[in-house]
Structure 1
Amino acid sequence: MATTPNQGRTMRADAVRTRRALLAAASDVFAELGTDASVAQVAARAGIGKGTVFGHFPTKETLLAAIVTDEVDDLVTAIGQLPGDLDPDGAVLAFMKVQVDRYAANRAFIELLRAARASAQPEIQAQVDRLVEAGKPLVKRAHDSGTLRADLTAHDVVLLACGVYCAAEPLLDHDRDASDRYLHVVFDGMRTSPH
């Protein structure tokens, strides 16, 4: 039986919805159980068969890379939407806060970056590099203004944001302000003179 154009569009829309549901389920499972969680556990959480998972993501590694890619897409978009009138320091601080807030919202993302075998994957490293590139203009502005320590790179700033989240993570369920406190402490140490 021939497929009508509308049926083709519906199938594509269904595939997109299934992929999104899979990534959301995988993020939840990996956040709760770590990256050793199985594809079967992801499939069960998503309410679909394991074969459907492999239809979208041929290996567990491609699933992990897809989670990281989607999260970096969101981060880069959010960074691009930062107000243009922020002063150089404010822009770097906002860059870091966007990251810390996203890590708290998707705990699987940081778990994937911390897992040694995941961070060694070229696909995942490429996504980290994209995040660093998004921060370079902000870090350069702060360097040019003389307010950010000259020895700090955009890569350093990304790692420091990860460190803030990791330090605050055990407290976030009962102290939602912990990450903001830690972020300001770290940021004060990144500046050439305290404000």
Structure 2
Amino acid sequence: MAERPLRADARRNRELVLKAAKEVFAASGFGVPLDEIAARAGVGPGTVYRHFPTKEALFEAVVTAQVQDLVAGARERAGDEDPGAAFFGFLARLGEQAVSKRDLTDAIAVPSAVREELHEVLGELMRGAQRVGAVRADLETADVVVLLKGVLAGLHDSSLGEVSAERAARLFGVLSAGLRGSGG
């Protein structure tokens, strides 16, 4: 049986919740309480739960579009003539997005189909770069994901000061240097 379309007010409330959640997750990450998202959206907590039964469901709805955009960009890079440049260009893009999107750490960690797709395309890029010697041959996709999670989490550690584009570029530069193979 097909789902009934939402009434106009319910659709508007859902969009308000998604917009607020996108802003709050980007600024604070997954740890933000749903009540805070409801308040930012100008709706009650019950409205949030009617549309998204769990915080995980809301988070997945918010980050799915963000991660799908990353996946599409990575797939475009997979066809580049220089697999090393494609892989390291993708890492640089992650670094740029990490500055304003605190939820990127959680987006690559929270189990979901789109996260699996991101890991898959990251692996494709990495293996292409490994074939030409641009990335160390002894690395697996899971290794790179662990390193990315660490850099992203550290980047947003409030005890280390404000997040800046310069710090992100520097950290992703160090990460890239450590991943480079003998031909890269």
Is 1:22 matched up with 2:22? Answer: no
Bigger radius of gyration among the two: 1
Change (3 A) 1:112 1:79: closer
Is 1:106 matched up with 2:101? Answer: yes
More helix as a share of residues: 1
Q: Distance in 2 between matches of 1:21 and 1:166?
A: 28
Equivalent residue, structure 2, for 1:183: 172
TM alignment of 1:27-38, pairs within 5 A: 27-30=22-25, 35-38=30-33
- 1:52-83 CA distances to partner (integer Å, 9 max, x unpaired)? 21222122231123233233222212323448
Moved more, 142-151 or 124-133: 124-133
Q: Distance in 2 between matches of 1:57 and 1:68?
A: 14
Aligned AA (1:153): E
Unmatched runs of 5 consecutive residues or more in structure 2: none
Q: Distance in 2 between matches of 1:35 and 1:145?
A: 37
Q: Distance in 2 between matches of 1:139 and 1:83?
A: 10
- 1:159-185 CA distances to partner (integer Å, 9 max, x unpaired)? 323333333335684642111112122
Equivalent residue, structure 1, for 2:122: 135
Q: Distance in 1 between matches of 2:147 and 2:138?
A: 13
Cα deviation, residue 34, structure 1: 5.5
SS at match of 2:69: helix
| Contact 1:22 1:46 (8 Å CA) reproduced | yes
Unmatched runs of 5 consecutive residues or more in structure 1: 1-7
C-alpha RMSD of matched pairs (Å): 3.2
Q: Distance in 1 between matches of 2:71 and 2:108?
A: 16
- 1:86-140 CA distances to partner (integer Å, 9 max, x unpaired)? 52221111121222223322213425666xxxx4xxxx24333211111122111
Change (3 A) 1:37 1:161: closer
Is 1:44 matched up with 2:33? Answer: no
TM-score, reference length from structure 1? 0.72
Is 1:193 matched up with 2:182? Answer: yes
Aligned AA (1:178): R
Moved more, 31-40 or 142-151: 31-40
Q: Distance in 2 between matches of 1:136 and 1:33?
A: 28
Equivalent residue, structure 1, for 2:82: 87
Equivalent residue, structure 1, for 2:152: 165
TM-score, reference length from structure 2? 0.76
Q: Say how many residue pairs are matched.
A: 178
